A and B are shown apart, each in its own frame.
Chain A
Amino acid sequence: MSETVLEALGVHKILGSGPSQVHALKDIDLALRGGELTMLMGPSGSGKTTLLSVLGLMLAPTAGHVRVAGVSTDGASPETLAALRRQHVGYIFQSYHLFPTLTASENVQLALDVRGTYGEAARAGAQAALERVGLAHKLASFPRELSGGEQQRVAIARAIVSDPSYVLADEPTAALDGENGQAIMGVLAGIAKDPGRGVLVVTHDSRLTSFANRTIDIEDGRLVDDRRNGTSSPAPAVVNGG
């Protein structure tokens, strides 16, 4: 059985203060296991991005606990959270966020560089990651020379090159056409086959659920459904993966 790579227990997140205060996440219990591709779906403003930020260790929960590969993040400083992100998290963004002045290879190497892996080891790692996403022939291309689908593949390579415990993807296909979107999801599903790595994809597109092992719905800051391979449980079901 695959191990749990990420756990959220009783997580609440309150954003802002005073009259503009928003209770963005309410009592979230969630576990991601390695070897699974999990989809997180919900309408705009439902708390998807906030949940992604908390699970990605960019935001600390107002209450509750987040454990990464068995390590508690309670009370961690911003630098400690950054160190945990380096060690365990790979990010894929809707608008790729590639560095326009760096080549595809350098963009991927950057993820290793911030982790202290330089030189030939970084170049070889970047090349292997780009080969894995089918871009071995675009190592020296700059982002402006790549299509949207290719840029997203570079972003995926950047997310997996450091062999993270889990990959978080925020609307990775939103900026792509249907064909490219399907292709990218295929790549992510392939990455999720690694039993040591979990993948969580935030999306609006219900057509992509066929790639997922599991789908979670979020509404108004609460997880309301958690189903795997076509099964469904009524809200607010226990959403611990397993």
Chain B
Amino acid sequence: MSLDLSSHLPLNFTLASRNLFQDRLRFAATTVGIVFSVVLVMVQMGLYLGFGRMVTTMIEHADADLWVMRQGTKCFEDPSLLGDMRKDILAVKGVASASPLVIGFSDWRLSTGEMTPVFLVGSNLSRNDLKPWNVVAGSAKALDEPGAVAVDTTYDKRLGLEGLGTKANIRGQKVHVVALTSGIRSFTTTPFVFADIGHARKFIGLPKSVASYYLVKLKPGADLQTVQNDLKTGLKKIDVLTAPQFAERSRQFWLFTTGAGAALFAGALLGLIVGTVIVAQTLYSSTKDHLPEFATLRAMGSSNRYIYSVIMYQALLNAVIGFCLASVIGFGVVAITTNGALPVTITPTLMAAIFALTLLMCVLSAFAAIARVVRIDPVAVFSQ
């Protein structure tokens, strides 16, 4: 027993869908245009989200109420250094602990002589300050061994990883891999290397007295805002930020100050423009081909609104079909890039936003066709 869906749909929708599918070549061209446009927007925005997560991943995984950093520090990877101010920080009322964290670039040299830059992250591993997460092999606890490091499997080829126990040299010092993580990627594509703070200082070449950041934990009941203000006023040439504030500052720097975000948005905008033009062009030509039908509708006494609804249904059908196909491709891109250095991240919110954008794009495209139909004279039926 077959189900005739068209008998349950509004007739203007039936007319719109049949007109749309009647010219299959034009429908295919329109769909390809929309899919291209939506996939482009999806990938650009997915990269933006992916980058946004990458540039803040360390901040979000650190166990700190407040970050103390040198004044003007732009992002987590900023090489600015602080002197030894642990005691000064601890002296501020409400502060429970202050742990130094060091970061910095160095070189990873394999036994074959190959060399690649790496980004060291050194923290106090006896505390939970900033330990490697998503450990898929080995253990972060082993990082207190001399020369022990943790690296991410994303960069296995660049680091010449052969599993746990892989040996290399950093700044002339022997290191061996005791833990492997998954998905800890860097926006700069330079591999992160986790180490105990003492070892990390040596790998980067920093004296014992300096730190890149102090991770501050508050005493129970202490007011965050008050402690933040007291630290700012009590210590000179420093910034004190909450984790969300520091994450936002890092995001702003990498995605906007460097122009990376603007480039992604420009790509997405280009996709929207291309999509709008393609849909507008095909809707207009479809409407032009069906002008005698619209004139007949007008002669039958149909309101302009009814005729617009036919065109709008065509536009919305285009949007829904194009979006569905683009989503399949988009999720394919997500699956392919999920373990790569540049992951495309698509969230439900992003999907909803792109669907709304697709609808908007197709509705805007319909206006050219509507403008053509507005001028239609019902008397035209007599000349056809």
Contacts and interface: CB of A to CB of B under 8 A. Distances in A.
Q: Do A and B come from one complex?
A: yes
Interface of A: 49, 52-53, 56, 58-59, 79, 82-87, 89, 91, 93, 95, 97, 99-102, 106, 109-111, 113-115, 118, 122-123, 158, 170
B347 interface: no
A113 B303 contact: no
Contact of A89 (B301, B302, B304): B301
9 contacts: A79-B304, A82-B378, A97-B292, A97-B299, A100-B22, A102-B18, A106-B11, A114-B301, A114-B302
Q: Secondary structure of the B side of the interface?
A: helix
B11 A79 contact: no
B106 interface: no
Interface string B1-34: 0000011001110110011001000000000000
Interface residues of B, number: 28
Nearest to B303: A82
Nearest to A57: B301
Given A79-B303, A86-B300, A101-B22, A58 B7 contact: no
Nearest to B304: A79
A113 B382 contact: no
Contacts of B12: 113
B297 interface: yes
A84 B381 CA distance: 18
B296 interface: yes
Contacts of B379: 53, 58-59
A85 B384 CA distance: 20
B382 A53 contact: yes
B15 A110 contact: yes
Given A102-B18, A109-B11, A52 B382 contact: yes
Contacts of B303: 79, 82-83, 114
B10 A58 contact: no
Interface of B: 6-7, 10-12, 14-15, 18-19, 22, 292-293, 296-304, 306, 377-379, 381-382, 384
A44 to B, nearest CB: 13
Given A93-B381, A97-B381, A56 B10 contact: no
B7 A91 contact: no
Contact of A91 (B10, B15, B300, B377): B300
B381 A123 contact: no
Contacts of A106: 6, 11, 14
Nearest to A56: B299
Nearest to B307: A114
A85 B382 contact: no
A97 B296 contact: yes
Contacts of A113: 10-12, 306
Contacts of A86: 300-302
Contacts of B378: 58, 82
A81 B7 CA distance: 30
B19 A101 contact: yes
